Amino acid sequence: MLKQQDHILQQINTLIIGERHKFIEQTGRGTSASYITIPSTLHDQAVRQHIEGDRTIGCFYCGKGSKFLCFDIDDKEPIKTLGIISTLKRIGFPKEHIHVEDSGNKGYHVWLFFDDTLPIEKLVSFGKWVISQLGEYQDGVEL
């Protein structure tokens, strides 16, 4: 189990974590959940606690670029999640490059990972376009 957690930690460090000088942490649970910014270094121990389900944290982009884009869908009904997946596949993303997870709270996350850091403004523009393709179902979907 420890070896698997080490692999997951390595992948999170490679694919997701950019900024380590501050991070966000969830306080409360369920509908009373909110996030606060922690103005201290994000250490691997905190990430391990997140992996183990003992703590919910999030990270900030590194400067003006990111190696990932995440759609946060606040709806347990799958129509929005399936709409995002369908749009991404229609424009050429292979299904094995589209990663979906239960957000653990209100809905789902759809993740895309990139080999290189891409400009935030381009990722945001692309993400907003994908969300716009949901038409009447775009409410409750964020980047």
Q: Which CATH number fits domain 65-142: 3.30.70, 3.10.420, 3.30.450, 2.120.10?
A: 3.30.70
**Ranges of CATH 3.30.70 domains, the chain:** 65-142
What mean pLDDT is predicted for residues 67-71?
A: 95
Which region holds residue 89: left if phi is over 0, alpha if psi is between -120 and 50, else beta? alpha
Model confidence at 134, pLDDT cuts 50, 70, 90, reads very high
In this prediction the pTM is 0.84
pLDDT at res. 1: 61
Condensed to tens digits (0 to 9), the pLDDT of residues 15-40 reads: 899 889 999 999 988 778 889 999 99
Q: Tell me, what DSSP letter sits at residue 62? A: B
pLDDT at res. 32: 81
Helix, strand, or coil here: 140? Answer: coil
